[in-house]
């Protein structure tokens, strides 16, 4: 394609500019640019040709024979109206640039139809002049080689058909040569115009991209400047806050160089202790005399900090205890430039620790005493609950046995583990189970009150046991109601009552006046 050759030429001979970004401009970019140029030309071309054909419509009426004047005039008038309508439509509605060449070819086709119709009505060689103008005009307007080739071939084909149908004349050959020359001229004009516009568009696209890159760089630079300003502002604020914090911090902060010379000291701890900044040297005793050992604690800690360690230690000075921590100090290049340390007055902490220690001792003594009391209480509980010759039961609201003493379990023929977790109704006589449940419910409905009843229980071996139960419901540690029951064995008493009742039922009481009481049977 012609466009590919032009693009290759400009890629091989780029504009003499620094950067050489032309390689990023593709053929599709240039074709789109040429479509846009033609699109911008369509409105004035359609307007100019429309007006021209209105004039031709009038000229046909005035200059042509009456037989062909009317059809030629109407054709020219219709062509002018179509071209002006096209111009109005292009102005009113937006059109994608890739439609520019098909529309341009359509305009050329309408003009070709008019020229061939004129040649049909007036089959004279000189009418070929209109086709010459069409081919040359297409070369000036059309910027696509393929569309221009289609227009030229269609024009030559149509002209050849009419020459074959028209009467023979030596002038047809003359005008055929003129068509050939017009075609060559149209191709030359097209080639030069496409090359010039391509070069212009390459420069324009290059400038647009450079401008876009520059705008992007400017925006990035502006954003970086704003970020730098924000960071600088934050650093200044952080520095101010750090200075305020360190100056008001209830501690002593200091730095030294690699020779352990104190280079700075600050903090409210100096004021609280009545120290001057230079007195930190005496406090830390970084300079040691010949009487001091090399392993004196602060000096040794700072030497270890120069070796890259972070060291914590405690010292006493003027009646105050200090907790100190010292570590290596680096510059922005990660080079060791000395040490940095901080010391907090821990006298209050030490005093509090001593008070806590004494309190722990007292608490431990109190715990030991309370433990002894609990053991004694447990022993009393065991003697009262486990070894008491009465049956003790603790049941929950559903009647489940929570605990039973050893004596109570043995009296019923069970072990403690066999009864715990079972329903307390298990050990009652079948006929008394309903009464037992009723008594238990009444006890739960009246917590805190003492209730007493007599019922029969069944030992494991099946023998009956009369008991008098005294019960009271209270809330347990978990907030739920529990019932504490004391059972007294009434079997012997009931047996004696039964014997007396039976004996009384059998005896007959007899009384005679003046005689002693006597019983008869």
Distance of CA 340 to the CA centre of its chain: 40
In a domain, 432, yes or no: yes
Is there a single domain that holds both residue 200 and residue 53? yes
Residue 234 lies in a domain: no
Residues 38 and 134 in one domain: yes
The verdict on 174 and 261 lying in the same domain is no
Is 161 contained in some domain?
yes
130, 121 contact by CB (below 8 A):
no
In a domain, 61, yes or no: yes
Question: Token pair of 300, please?
Answer: 């040794």
Q: Write down the mean pLDDT value for the chain.
A: 79
Residue 99 lies in a domain: yes
Q: What is the DSSP string of 268-337?
A: HHHHHTT--GGGHHHHHT-S--TTS-TT-HHHHHHHHHHTT--EEEEEEETTEEEEEEEEEEE-TTS-EE
- Contacts of residue 400, Cβ cutoff 8 Å, sequence gap at least 6: 421, 422, 423, 424
What integer pLDDT is reported at residue 295 of this predicted model? 46
Q: What is the pLDDT of residue 3?
A: 47
Task: Examine the fold and report which residue of 217, 233, 260 is the final residue of a domain before the chain moves on.
Answer: 217
pLDDT, position 16: 46
Same domain, 94 and 208: yes
In a domain, 162, yes or no: yes
User: What pLDDT is recorded for position 304?
Assistant: 86
Residues 422 and 440 grouped into a single domain: yes
Same domain, 361 and 486: no
- pLDDT tens digits for 103-133? 888 888 888 888 888 888 888 888 888 888 8
In order, the DSSP letters of 360-407 are: HHHHHHHHHHHHHHHHHHHHHHIIIIISSSSEEEEEETT-BEEEE-HH
Give 521's pLDDT tier (boundaries 50, 70, 90): very low
Residue 377: the pLDDT is 64
pLDDT digits (tens, 9 = 90+) for 323-374: 788 889 898 888 888 888 887 777 777 777 777 888 888 888 877 787 777 7
Per residue in 88-105, pLDDT (tens digit) is 988 888 888 888 889 888
Residue 254 is classified by DSSP as: E
Tokens describing residue 396: 């929950």
> Is 102 part of any domain?
yes
Instruction: Write out the H or E segment, with its range, that includes residue 495.
Output: helix 491-506
Residue at a domain's end among 363, 387, 411: 387
Residue 76 within a domain: yes
The domain in which residue 378 lies consists of 353-387
Domain shared by 320 and 198, yes or no = no
Q: What is the pLDDT of residues 428-473, one digit of tens each?
A: 988 888 888 998 899 988 988 888 988 898 898 988 889 888 899 8
Tokens of 205: 């696209």
Interval 378-396 mean pLDDT = 70
Instruction: Write out pLDDT tens, residues 187-221.
Output: 998 888 888 878 787 887 778 788 888 888 888 88
* The token pair that represents 298 in the structure block: 């602060």
The per-residue DSSP string of 139-171 comes to HHH---HHHHHHHHHHHHHHHHHHHHHSPP-HH
Residue with tokens 């028209």: 166
Task: Among 345, 377, 410, give the residue marking a domain's end.
Answer: 345
Say if residue 289 is in the same domain as residue 365: no
On whether both 200 and 130 belong to a single domain, the answer is yes
- The pLDDT of residue 282 is 52
Q: Is the pLDDT of residue 40 over 80?
A: yes
Q: Residue 435 is part of a domain; what is its CATH number?
A: 3.30.450.20
Domain count along the chain: 4
Q: At what angle do helices 145-165 and 100-121 cross, to 10 degrees?
A: 10
Please report the pLDDT score of residue 81 as a whole number.
92
Q: Are residues 116 and 256 in the same domain?
A: no
Measured N-to-C along each axis, helices 128-141 and 100-121 cross at an angle, to the nearest 10 degrees, of 170
The neighbour count for residue 232, using CB atoms within 10 Å, is 10
Confidence of residue 11 (pLDDT cuts 50, 70, 90): very low
Element containing residue 113 per DSSP (H, E): helix 100-121
Q: Same structural domain for residues 360 and 423? A: no
Collect all residues with Cβ–Cβ distance below 8 Å to 275 and sequence separation of at least 6. Answer: 252, 269, 283
| 299 and 370 belong to one structural domain | no
pLDDT score, position 328: 92
| Tens of pLDDT, residues 273-313 | 566 555 555 555 544 443 344 445 777 888 888 888 888 88
């Amino acid at each position: 394609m012609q466009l590919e050759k032009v693009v290759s030429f400009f890629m091989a001979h780029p504009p003499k500019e620094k950067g050489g970004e032309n390689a990023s401009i593709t053929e599709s970019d240039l074709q789109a640019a040429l479509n846009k140029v033609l699109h911008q030309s369509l409105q004035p071309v359609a307007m100019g040709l429309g007006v021209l054909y209105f004039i031709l419509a009038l000229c046909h009426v005035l200059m042509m024979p009456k037989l062909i004047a009317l059809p030629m005039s109407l054709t020219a008038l219709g062509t002018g109206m179509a071209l002006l309508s096209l111009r109005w439509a292009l102005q009113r509605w937006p059109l994608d640039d890739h439609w520019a060449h098909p529309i341009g070819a359509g305009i050329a086709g309408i003009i070709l139809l008019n020229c061939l119709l004129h040649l049909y009505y007036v089959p004279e060689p000189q009418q070929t002049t209109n086709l010459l103008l069409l081919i040359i005009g297409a070369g000036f307007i059309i910027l696509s080689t393929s569309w221009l080739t289609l227009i030229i071939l269609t024009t030559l084909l149509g002209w050849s058909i009419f020459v074959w149908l028209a009467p023979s004349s030596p002038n047809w050959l003359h005008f055929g040569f003129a068509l050939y020359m017009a075609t060559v001229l149209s191709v030359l004009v097209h080639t030069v115009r496409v090359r010039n516009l391509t070069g212009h568009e390459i420069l324009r696209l290059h400038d647009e991209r450079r401008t876009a890159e520059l705008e992007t760089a400017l925006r990035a630079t502006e954003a970086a400047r704003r970020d730098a300003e924000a960071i600088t502002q934050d650093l200044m604020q952080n520095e101010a806050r750090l200075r305020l914090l360190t100056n008001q911090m209830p501690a002593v902060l200091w730095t030294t160089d690699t020779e352990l010379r104190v280079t700075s000291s600050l903090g409210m701890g100096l004021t609280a202790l009545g120290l001057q900044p230079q007195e930190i040297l005496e406090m830390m005793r970084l300079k040691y005399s010949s009487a001091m050992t090399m392993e004196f604690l602060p000096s040794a800690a700072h030497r270890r900090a120069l070796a890259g360690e972070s060291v914590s230690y405690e010292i006493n000075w003027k009646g105050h205890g200090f907790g100190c921590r010292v570590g290596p100090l680096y510059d922005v290049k990660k080079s060791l430039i000395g040490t940095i340390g901080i010391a907090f007055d821990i006298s209050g902490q030490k005093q509090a620790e001593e008070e806590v220690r004494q309190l722990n001792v007292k608490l431990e003594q109190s715990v030991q005493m309370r433990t002894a009391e609990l053991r004694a209480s447990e022993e009393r509980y065991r003697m009262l609950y486990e070894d008491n010759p009465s049956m003790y039961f603790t049941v929950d609201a559903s009647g489940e046995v929570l605990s039973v003493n050893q004596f109570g379990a043995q009296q019923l023929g069970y072990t403690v583990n066999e009864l715990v977790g079972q329903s307390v109704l298990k050990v009652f006589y079948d006929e008394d189970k309903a009464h037992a449940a009723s008594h238990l419910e009444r006890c739960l409905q009246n917590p805190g009150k003492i209730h007493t009843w007599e019922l029969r229980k069944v030992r494991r071996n099946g023998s009956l046991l009369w008991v008098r139960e005294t019960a009271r419901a209270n809330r347990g540690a978990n907030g739920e109601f529990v019932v504490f029951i004391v059972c007294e064995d009434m079997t012997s008493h009931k047996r004696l009552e039964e014997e007396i009742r039976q004996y009384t039922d059998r005896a007959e009481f007899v009384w005679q006046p003046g005689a002693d009481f006597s019983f008869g049977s």
